[in-house]
Amino acid sequence: MESRQLSNGLEIPVLALGVWQIRNGRDCVNAVRWVLDLGYRHIDTAQLYGNGESVGRAARESRLPARSCSSPPSSPRRVPIRCPRPEGSLRRLGLDYVDLYLVHWPQRDHTWVWPGMEKAQRLGYTRSVGLSNNGVGEMDEVMGSAEIRPVVNQVQFSPFEYRRALLDGAVRHQIVVEAYSPLGTGRHLADRRVSEVASRVGRSPAQVLLRWCLQRDTVVLPKSSHRDRIEENAQIFDFDPSDADMADLDRLDRTGGTGEAG
Ligand code: A2P
């Protein structure tokens, strides 16, 4: 599995399984087992998804030294989390630490929760910390006060959500963008223009959308609970769309190249 280097020197696999909307239980255990068997080494889960136990079980069953990428409580309006509490997530996962711990949604003042994230890293609960759903202004704010720098920012990203200004802002801060919902939760797969590129390159629409994310230097997190699709989604390292194909996909952007995350 290809990986890339984070600003703190650690490596991150560029393809992950996103387990949002995979039911806790057999479906989730199977999906995680399959990806680990296939060579994926990056699972993106969150407390909110309610399937941490299944992710942890699959990782243990696979007998790999698998860790995962997790997020702290993500309902800041209801749960005043000045200091994130990763212990519960780690307990459900059955892990001592994760590789990467993300704060899910920015809150009023985006720097508010960051000292707690730094504390989680200092306490050894995670090797790296990151953001999600942060726009350029929010990344700038966090970077202005961070003692431990966020290494990633996870946002919705695909040719249809080609947030160029956000990507540029992240690059300026040496923050890697992680693309969630790269298939538009399935909606982008049926787009005629995506299918046209797919038939030109001889790949499936899903592979084309995922490859586009890699070509744009992001880490990509497709979700699937089907073994054949999980396999298909991993076959994205052996082709390069042409510049013209990439330009056609770039033109699908509906965000106006925004620096905003949502
Ligand atoms: P399923 O989980 O039933 O396989 P996103 O990653 O943007 O959130 O998209 C996930 C959606 O896309 C899910 O509905 C998933 O369905 C579907 N999906 C994932 N990979 C593929 C694929 N290779 N071909 C078709 N549909 C896919």
Task: Please write the tens of the pLDDT for every residue from 128-168.
Answer: 999 999 999 999 999 999 999 999 999 999 999 999 999 99
Active site residue 49: yes
Per-residue confidence (pLDDT) for residue 74, from 0 to 100: 36
Tokens standing for residue 241: 């769309």
Tokens standing for residue 116: 């707690």
Region 165-189: mean pLDDT is: 98
Report the range out of 76-80, 123-127, 158-162 with the highest average pLDDT.
158-162
Per-residue confidence (pLDDT) for residue 108, from 0 to 100: 65
Which listed residue (40, 49, 101, 162) is catalytic?
Answer: 49
Per-residue confidence (pLDDT) for residue 63, from 0 to 100: 75
Region 216-234: mean pLDDT is: 96
Per-residue confidence (pLDDT) for residue 214, from 0 to 100: 98
SS3 of 229, please?
Answer: helix
Ligand 1 centroid–CA 189 distance in Å is 9
Protein residue with its CA nearest to atom 12 in ligand 1: 186
Amino acid occupying residue 157: F
pLDDT at 236 exceeding the cut of 80: yes
Tokens standing for residue 206: 């899903």
Region 230-256: mean pLDDT is: 97
pLDDT at 30 exceeding the cut of 90: yes
pLDDT at 85 exceeding the cut of 90: no
pLDDT at 124 exceeding the cut of 60: yes
pLDDT category at 65 given cuts 50, 70, 90 is low
Q: Cα(181)–Cα(187) distance, rounded to whole angstroms?
A: 10
Per-residue confidence (pLDDT) for residue 76, from 0 to 100: 30
Ligand 1 centroid–CA 59 distance in Å is 22
> Cβ neighbours of residue 30 under 8 Å, at least 6 residues apart?
58, 225, 227
Region 58-83: mean pLDDT is: 51
Q: What's the number of CA atoms in the CB half-sphere (13 Å) around residue 203?
A: 24
Which atom of ligand 1 is the closest one to the Cα of 225?
2
Select from 226, 228, 232, 236 the residue to mutate for testing ligand 1; criterion: most ligand atoms less than 8 Å from CB: 226
DSSP 8-class letter at 23: P
Beta bridge partners, 180, equal 156, 221
Domains (range + CATH), the chain:
3-250 (3.20.20.100)
Q: Which of 36-45, 148-157, 185-194, 198-207 has the lowest mean pLDDT?
A: 36-45
- pLDDT, mean over the chain: 89
Show the ligand 1 pocket: residues with CB < 6 angstroms. Answer: 18, 181-186, 189, 206, 222-226, 229, 232-233
pLDDT category at 84 given cuts 50, 70, 90 is low
Per-residue confidence (pLDDT) for residue 88, from 0 to 100: 83
Q: Cα(216)–Cα(96) distance, rounded to whole angstroms?
A: 33
